[in-house]
Amino acid sequence: MRIPLLLSLLPAFVLALTPADYSAYTLFESHPAPEGWRQLSTAPSPSTPITLRFHLTTSYSDLERELLTVSDPTHPRYGDYRSRESLAVLTAPANNAVETVLEWLQSTTPDVTVDGDVIKVRLTIAEAEHLLRTKYATFQNDDDGRTLVRTLSYSVPEVVKPYLATVQPTNMFTLRKLNSHIVPLHVTDAENERLAPFSAKAEADFSIASAPSCNATVTLECLAALYGFADYDATGKADVGVSGFLEQYAQYDDLQIFLQKYRPEAVGTNFTVVSVNGGQNLQNVNGTDNISEANLDIQYAVGISYPAKNTYYTTAGRPPFIPDLDVTINDSEPYLEYLEYLLKQDKLPTVISTSYGESEQTVPLSYRHTVCDLLGRLGARGVSVIFSAGDSGPGWSCRSNDGKNTPKFLPQFPAACPWVTSVGGTHHVDPEEAIYFSSGGFSETWEVPDYQRKAVKTFFESHPEAWQPFTKYFNRCGRGFPDVAGQANNYEVILHGAKQLIGGTSASAPMFSGIIALVNDYRLKMGKKPLGFLNPLLYNRPDAFTDIVNGRSSGCDGTTWGKPIAGNPAIIPGAGWNATTGWDPSTGLGTPKFEVLKNI
């Protein structure tokens, strides 16, 4: 519940507290303007309105303990997930946090709203500058001329800093990183006519599905054969959520054409659209830039999980990042608003697929931790949170963005958050191989979690040839990713009524999410709980995956998708990760065996 609080309405015992010293300030965050943005001489008007969001710290250790308990298949409380109300109690702000931060904020403005562990303040630029001891400026993007009012550093009182997880918007510039790319494909007029709405010939038949056909292009049929779910008759008990950001709009008509061609018994099934933070649901969008990712995600999530309910969460807004050479288009996705919305819902999907990300170093540290904490809360609610690993191998620009330009591998966020299951990429069959662009590596933010420690240790001990040449470029103590993998190239997708091929781990994530939805469907049918946070179970059952031992990822060669990277990218000869026996930072544990997962 959202509760506006004015200072005059605070309980008497709060007002009676000895006033804290809010005069001693300390730096909270400082980041340079991203490459491609320049500060203009024109300052923003002091009266410009702005709404600041103050995220309060919570008991992270309590959340971690609870999440790992209910996700441990050997624990008596396995599957004992928290309700919305129960989780809110567990993750309530630290003692005195609300009172201390409120007292400070309301010394500047009475327009304050408390919403759980988030405090929102509506004020002017002048008031925000005084509150944060900073100066806002106007910045312009060199590519498209957009202007933003932002600050590069800000401070808070020393007594307040321990209670704050992050403050936004402050350094909210924009970044774009969709983990997919369109493969050039010539489609004849005859085939376009054959794929016209409601006139396509039904060609799919799971009963004669053929895994080798995945060597050419990837369809529902070949995935069903390859991963073993062709014979499963789902009941629709396990809901699926698909995350939509960056003005990506899933198209209803294209889904029906896709289903006609690839899953004819599902024709008429649709997805529900939920708007978050003003997100739109545009149909008949010109071009493919704003539909390719959304269509890929929703078509394969619906196609695999049918007859499950699928929800597409279209979220507006863009979060902060720190610049590096991998940032070229400058858009990003508003995780905080989206995750806060989800956690307020009484009922959540059993699995949520997200196909977006960026390198860790582009995201402020406080923002990284806050988002990962919220993702962990979803796991405690019983949601399997799936992220694509990324499409940059060990990295593209492969330089630090701290001013030193140190050559290094670039782990991905949120794929390296320990509370998500990240999905890398493969291609070919008999055998499947790691695909070159599949991101993987070791986090510089989170240490290796206990559930993964044995697998990562075995990788380092058994395959020194795979990592020793690059030991100075990555954090050997970090959380390893991806966790699993799946086909990631040449997916047949319908865009504006015509077939197109799309590749990337953006395809692997909804595919794997659909399979987990089928597993959850079976478990619910058997009276069991859904799987929830997957990783402790998956690392305990590597036999549920086909170990990928061929192929490798590659990167750090000065190019992205074959095109030179602007700036001064680092060249690290031979950079990449081999697919090896056991877990590896190219394909994780491997690709899923549905029948084994279903019967765990």
| Low-confidence winner among 175-184, 346-355, 437-446 (lowest mean pLDDT) | 175-184
Q: Which of 239, 201, 208 is nearest to 222 (CA)?
A: 208
Task: Select which of 66, 127, 129, 297 is catalytic.
Answer: 297
pLDDT band at residue 531 under the 50/70/90 scheme: very high
* C-alpha R_g of the chain: 24
> How large is the average pLDDT for residues 217-233?
96
Residues annotated in a binding site for Ca(2+): 547-548, 582, 584
Q: How many CB atoms lie within 10 A of CB 233?
A: 9
Residues annotated in a binding site: 547-548, 582, 584
- Does the annotation count 297 as an active-site position? yes
- What is the model's pLDDT at position 205? 59
Whether pLDDT at 143 is above 70: no
pTM: 0.89
Q: Quickly list DSSP for 63-131.
A: HHHHHHHHT-TTSTTTT-PPPHHHHHHHTPBPTTHHHHHHHHHTTT-S-EEEETTEEEEEEEHHHHHHH
Return the HEC string of 459-522: HHHHCHHHHHHHHHHCCCCEEEECCEEEECCCEEEEECCEEEEEECHHHHHHHHHHHHHHHHHH
> Between vectors from CA 483 to CA 77 and to CA 398, what angle results, nearest 5°?
140
User: How far apart (Å, rounded) are the C-alpha atoms in residues 528 and 78?
Assistant: 11
Whether pLDDT at 320 is above 80: no
| Low-confidence winner among 2-16, 239-253, 294-308, 491-505 (lowest mean pLDDT) | 2-16
Length of the chain: 600
Domain ranges of the chain: 3-58+93-168, 222-598
pLDDT digits (tens, 9 = 90+) for 433-443: 999 999 999 99
Sequence-ordered list of residues with C-beta below 8 angstroms from that of 258, at least 6 positions apart, any chain: 295, 299, 303, 493, 494
- What is the model's pLDDT at position 36? 61
Average pLDDT, the chain: 87
pLDDT digits (tens, 9 = 90+) for 545-588: 999 999 999 999 988 887 888 778 889 999 999 999 999 999 99
- What is the model's pLDDT at position 80? 98
Whether pLDDT at 203 is above 70: no
> How large is the average pLDDT for residues 472-496?
97
Do you find a cis peptide bond into 307, omega within 30 degrees of 0? yes
Q: Which two tokens stand for residue 562?
A: 């074959």
pLDDT band at residue 32 under the 50/70/90 scheme: confident
- Does the annotation count 346 as an active-site position? no
| Low-confidence winner among 11-20, 114-123, 411-420, 504-513 (lowest mean pLDDT) | 11-20
Task: Select which of 506, 508, 553, 586 is catalytic.
Answer: 506
| Low-confidence winner among 1-15, 357-371, 376-390, 482-496 (lowest mean pLDDT) | 1-15
pLDDT digits (tens, 9 = 90+) for 401-423: 888 889 999 999 999 999 999 99
- Does the annotation count 115 as an active-site position? no
Higher pLDDT, 259 or 49: 259
- What is the model's pLDDT at position 401? 82
Task: Select which of 221, 247, 293, 333 is catalytic.
Answer: 293
> How large is the average pLDDT for residues 41-54?
90
> Between vectors from CA 426 to CA 212 and to CA 461, what angle results, nearest 5°?
125
| Identity of the amino acid at 570 | A
The CATH fold assigned to 222-598 is Rossmann fold (3.40.50)
- What is the model's pLDDT at position 200? 38
- What is the model's pLDDT at position 176? 43
- What is the model's pLDDT at position 182? 56
